């Protein structure tokens, strides 16, 4: 076991609520336990009570103006994710975590807001947003989503392509609860489609940095082949230059919003049109909100996006 360096342990204070928000909020449940979170901005390890962690994670991961049942689904997804990662890191400690269960680095783990970060992010809407998220945590914060008795890999993303993808398609690891399911409401999301333009020289520089051996024809119109796609539209493989690229890698290298994209050359630049936002695996947050607005409860939302799973009480 790794020990925390002296002076590195902190406790994040509980956010102060106004008299009005405190009166309107539900009584706090008995949520025991805490997580050790490595703050990427300071390098310090903070002991965060479970309730505070879930509020900070949901506040960082889902818009607070989403429907209450969608927020409850997100609470359980965040709690389940955290428990799974905590167990994994306890079994095989990562020295980079300095003894923490995980970090707040959203490029590696789920995001998390401290009180100050949450106040800054929500501004004048902080009190209302905090109360709404806290109510969702108080309602379902003691539940986990499990498969065969263990917390699942509760992946989630902002907006799907209209149909989520399987973990096997995106990450090469088949899981019976991370399979493709319909999420048609996502097609109505305001940011469902985005087109970005990339000049040939910029694209060539980015791909050459990733693969220095890649060569390109003189005519940019000949750089890309027709893509091989899944039924949901995710690009599995596409030739660019003299190399085959996965859609996920191109998404990462080019900073695209999704691996569900089309590309065309207009004689001056490449136009990438993406559908959805995120890796497209697990729960679509926009789709979850749409289901909630249609009257679905959090359990129904979770069962749709994570089939073959069951809700269980946390041991915390």
Contacts of residue 18, Cβ cutoff 8 Å, sequence gap at least 6: 127
Q: What is the pLDDT of residue 315?
A: 77
Q: pTM for the whole thing?
A: 0.88
The C-alpha atoms of residue 166 and residue 179 are separated, in whole angstroms, by 4
- Is the residue at 123 inside a domain? yes
Nearest of 63, 56, 79, 60 to residue 134 by alpha carbon: 56
Domain total in the chain: 2
Q: Are residues 101 and 115 in the same domain?
A: yes
Place of tokens 């703050």: 39
What range does the domain containing 267 cover?
A: 155-281
Contact call for residues 131 and 49 (beta carbons, < 8 A) = no
Q: Are residues 110 and 236 in the same domain?
A: no
- Is the residue at 25 inside a domain? yes
Residue 181 has, within 13 A of its CA and on its CB side, a CA count of 21
Burial 73-108 (b: 16+ CB within 10 A, else e): bbbbbbbbbbbbbbeebeeeeeeebbbbbbbbeeee
Q: Are residues 47 and 146 in the same domain?
A: yes
- Is the residue at 298 inside a domain? no
| CB neighbourhood size of 312 (10 A) | 15
Q: Are residues 98 and 119 in the same domain?
A: yes
**197-243, pLDDT tens digit by residue?**
999 999 999 999 999 999 999 999 999 999 999 999 999 999 999 99
Does 153 score more than 80 pLDDT?
yes
Percentage of the chain lying above the pLDDT 70 cut: 91
């Amino acid at each position: 076991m790794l020990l925390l360096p002296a002076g590195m342990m902190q406790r994040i204070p509980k956010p102060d609520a106004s008299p009005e928000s405190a009166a309107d909020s539900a009584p706090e449940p008995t949520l025991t336990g805490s997580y050790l979170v490595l703050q990427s901005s300071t390098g310090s390890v903070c002991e965060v009570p479970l309730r505070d962690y879930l509020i900070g994670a949901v506040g960082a991961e889902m818009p607070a103006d989403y429907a209450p049942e969608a927020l409850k689904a997100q609470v359980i997804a965040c709690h389940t994710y955290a428990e799974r990662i905590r167990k994994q890191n306890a079994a095989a400690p990562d020295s980079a975590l300095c003894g923490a269960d995980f970090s707040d680095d959203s490029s590696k783990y789920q995001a998390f807001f401290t009180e100050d970060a949450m106040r800054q992010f929500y501004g004048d809407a902080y009190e209302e947003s905090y109360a709404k998220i806290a109510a969702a945590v108080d309602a379902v914060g003691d539940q986990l989503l499990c498969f065969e008795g263990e917390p699942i890999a509760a992946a989630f993303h902002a907006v799907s392509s209209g149909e989520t993808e399987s973990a096997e398609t995106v990450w090469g690891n088949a899981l019976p609860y991370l399979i493709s399911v319909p999420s048609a409401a996502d097609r109505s999301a305001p940011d469902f489609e985005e087109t970005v333009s990339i000049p040939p020289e910029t694209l060539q520089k980015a791909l050459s940095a990733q693969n220095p051996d890649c060569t390109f024809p003189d005519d940019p119109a000949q750089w890309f082949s027709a893509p091989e796609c899944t039924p949901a539209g995710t690009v599995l493989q596409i030739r660019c230059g003299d190399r085959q690229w996965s859609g996920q890698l191109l998404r990462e290298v080019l900073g695209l919003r999704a691996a569900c994209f089309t590309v065309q050359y207009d004689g001056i630049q490449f136009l990438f049109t993406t559908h959805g936002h995120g890796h497209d695996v697990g729960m679509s947050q926009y789709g979850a909100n749409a289901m909630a607005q249609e009257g679905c409860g959090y359990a129904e939302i979770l069962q749709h996006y994570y089939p073959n799973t069951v809700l269980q009480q946390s041991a915390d």
